[in-house]
Structure 1
């Protein structure tokens, strides 16, 4: 029968390029020019019947195509489209990587994978599913999402990957700027939890001396800072940030509302032009848009919720 021949064909060719390409359910990116609002599926990966139907359909496509020497692929946007609609996510940007739906879909370095397993981190938030593929690809990223979406790990884990992958260097590699002392300290708590990088937290309203000693003694790879205290250390040459190639602006809208735009521009002027920049904001006013346009290149933008892009 046809089914018997189909099963035999799949088993016989299970390692072929045609099978592997057809069954590659998570391609790396949306094809250029694809409208992210045109494809969708039921999104239920765990349903055995659905998986079986998908497999049979894919195998049938391979079987028919193989007879003519043609290699086919499953529509790359079907699963992602349903994910975007379910979680009210909009993605804009050239060749934007598609979301990955589970922790197992990410190829974390072994140390990070083990730490996440120890921490029993098994279910990424929707914004993490979408932002990690972008950040890990080295792309600039704008994320518009409310507090509580899990955005801190969106940029902290890729920072760890970058630090573990690249050669050790003198001076910090990652700079995270936040509007308030409280947020800076919260970010440091997340960074410290995983213990992959020396880090310091710099903020005003506290003595400058102890923070200076931490910088000298720890040789931090990650600096978390408020803009005012950071520019103080930079202008006094207490810290050299010319090797920073991973910049995060968290709550960029609040930093601008608090009048930190001059400090942000002075800090960014000290950084290498060849860097990766990630900006997070709860809103998307024209001032934040202008900041992104001035200091980011070819960025992918993620919006969670109803904020207009």
Structure 2
């Protein structure tokens, strides 16, 4: 096979010099002009693009992307479509600025390899098969283009979902939902799980979601109810397709396709491996697809985790056996009161009709689904409360918000257990800063803590607080910072079944290492690190 390096003037590979420096980023492009598949076979044999960046297990670090050339092997038939060059920076993308801003806020400074190649393809409306290892950024690889696709469509009353994401298990579905909520909702994208469709049936779906995420099993089980809600799906994603596209599910796939539009549907298949049975079924789903593989080959064998999975349609809930999901010992969950379980605000007479109590001139509003959420937490975690309020005020709030459940707390700490620098909050110069130093819990520094030193560590502890600065003295990725609850938000469902915070904690409860999980699955507000605009302000009192 002949090797040639294309120039910037080559029509097939023309590109804006300002977006990608082709001479640095692309090397050794191979074009097989002898391949001549028929037009019909293009449907079952995808254009194949292998994108290798350095070593096969290369991660998405900026240094590696700059030091290693991108090698793109593109096999094109005579009628094959052009494969666009990867977007190596966020600025090189065609995304609206609001999405780029949200990515930067989440600490994402440039695309991972799978995102760099899948984003331009998805934005062109191409069908895609994307094969990459877990943790490579695949979810955002299909979510961001899906959000943009949904938002560009005209709005009209009672519009049905336009983006449908199918997953093999409830656990995987929950992960996709969390990512979708984190990156979609700030841009006004409305996201739902299957339950919303089923509960509403063929009636108007509350909120008219743009994106629906569900397991294929649940879709098949409820297809008679939701089939008329699928007619607007123009962006279909099959996630972890090597688990979804088993040979035994072809009849179910065919059944679902009957209710999806065929002319204007874009289909994206994301997978960890690409076994033969998945390839065979994908041929009936995709039209003239491009296949990209990052760091691995398309002939990869089934992942070891598949050995632990039940039959795809054998269990209606999670596919992973419960004993593999539930650790022997519970992790430690440290919750704040204000902003997480309740909203504590100065009295506002306009809202006196809402249920609340008064504590020293402030109204305390209990968050919706709070009691059910706390019962979930006590079932799955060892739970403690750590508040920056004084002891008397905290005790009154605990009595109201937790009721009898307070007796199940492992500990209840007030501001006296915080580290208190001589500093006021940047947002409110009348409010002192309090740091919650988890090392005090890990070292069992206070009398009365019912565990031995070493029982809890950064690997099995999670602080949940709505103020990122309070975790500044802790190791990174040992806390999450949900956006604070406001009692004025009557649609808040974050603590309820299917709510964002509850789903996230469901995954934390089964994670092998909390710190690693939080690092790979950011949630809520970003932590205050050196790249954060508030770093210099809060870091001063943290210096030794």
Smaller-chain TM-score bracket: 0.5 to 0.7
Tell me the residue number matched to 1:228. 217
Which of 184, 190, 198 is equivalent to 2:190?
Answer: 198
Partner of 2:257, secondary structure, is helix
Pair 109,214 (structure 1): closer, same or farther in 2 beyond 3 Å = farther
Instruction: Write 1 or 2 for the structure with the bigger share of helix.
Output: 1
* RMSD (CA atoms): 3.6
Tell me the residue number matched to 2:232. 243
Higher-Rg structure is: 2
Name the CA distance, whole Å, in 1 between partners of 2:16 and 2:197.
59
Pair 25,269 (structure 1): closer, same or farther in 2 beyond 3 Å = same
Name the CA distance, whole Å, in 2 between partners of 1:243 and 1:294.
20
Tell me the residue number matched to 2:114. 127
- Partners of 1:233 and 1:239 within 8 A in 2: no
Displacement of 1:240: 1.1
Question: Is 1:111 equivalent to 2:98 in the alignment?
Answer: yes
Matches within 5 A, 1:197-216: 197-202=189-194, 216=205
Displacement of 1:259: 4.5
Pair 231,91 (structure 1): closer, same or farther in 2 beyond 3 Å = farther
Question: Is 1:265 equivalent to 2:265 in the alignment?
Answer: no
Pair 287,234 (structure 1): closer, same or farther in 2 beyond 3 Å = same
Displacement of 1:267: 1.3
- Partners of 1:198 and 1:218 within 8 A in 2: yes
Name the CA distance, whole Å, in 2 between partners of 1:272 and 1:122.
36
Tell me the residue number matched to 1:61. none
- Partners of 1:227 and 1:260 within 8 A in 2: no
How far does the alpha carbon of each residue in 1:40-92 deviate from its partner, in whole angstroms, 9 at most, with x for none?
9xxxxx99xxxxxxxxxxxxxxxxxxxxxxxxxxxxxxx9x9213xxxx7555
Name the CA distance, whole Å, in 2 between partners of 1:143 and 1:21.
22
Pair 241,208 (structure 1): closer, same or farther in 2 beyond 3 Å = closer
Partner of 2:229, secondary structure, is coil
TM-score by length of 1: 0.68
Question: Is 1:303 equivalent to 2:293 in the alignment?
Answer: yes
Matches within 5 A, 1:142-157: 142-157=129-144
- Partners of 1:176 and 1:224 within 8 A in 2: yes
Partner of 1:120, secondary structure, is coil
Matches within 5 A, 1:82-93: 82-84=69-71, 92=75
Pair 218,187 (structure 1): closer, same or farther in 2 beyond 3 Å = same
Tell me the residue number matched to 1:279. 269
Displacement of 1:230: 1.1
Structure 2 runs not aligned, ≥5 long: 1-13, 33-48, 54-61, 300-544
Displacement of 1:23: 4.5
Matched positions, count: 243
Name the CA distance, whole Å, in 2 between partners of 1:172 and 1:269.
16
Matches within 5 A, 1:156-171: 156-169=143-156, 170-171=159-160
- Partners of 2:165 and 2:236 within 8 A in 1: yes
Pair 212,258 (structure 1): closer, same or farther in 2 beyond 3 Å = farther
- Partners of 2:122 and 2:142 within 8 A in 1: yes
Partner of 1:105, secondary structure, is coil
Name the CA distance, whole Å, in 2 between partners of 1:137 and 1:209.
33
Name the CA distance, whole Å, in 2 between partners of 1:90 and 1:190.
31
Displacement of 1:125: 0.8
Tell me the residue number matched to 2:397. none
Displacement of 1:168: 1.9
Which of 83, 86, 90 is equivalent to 1:99?
Answer: 86
Displacement of 1:215: 7.4
Relative contact order: is structure 1 or structure 2 higher (C-alpha 8 Å, sep ≥ 6)? 1
- Partners of 2:131 and 2:273 within 8 A in 1: yes
Structure 1 runs not aligned, ≥5 long: 1-19, 41-45, 48-78
Tell me the residue number matched to 1:50. none
Instruction: Write 1 or 2 for the structure with the bigger share of strand.
Output: 2
Displacement of 1:99: 0.7
Tell me the residue number matched to 2:20. 26
Pair 95,241 (structure 1): closer, same or farther in 2 beyond 3 Å = same
- Range that drifts further, 218-227 or 20-29: 20-29
Partner of 2:141, secondary structure, is helix
Displacement of 1:211: 7.5
- Partners of 1:174 and 1:222 within 8 A in 2: yes
Displacement of 1:265: 2.3
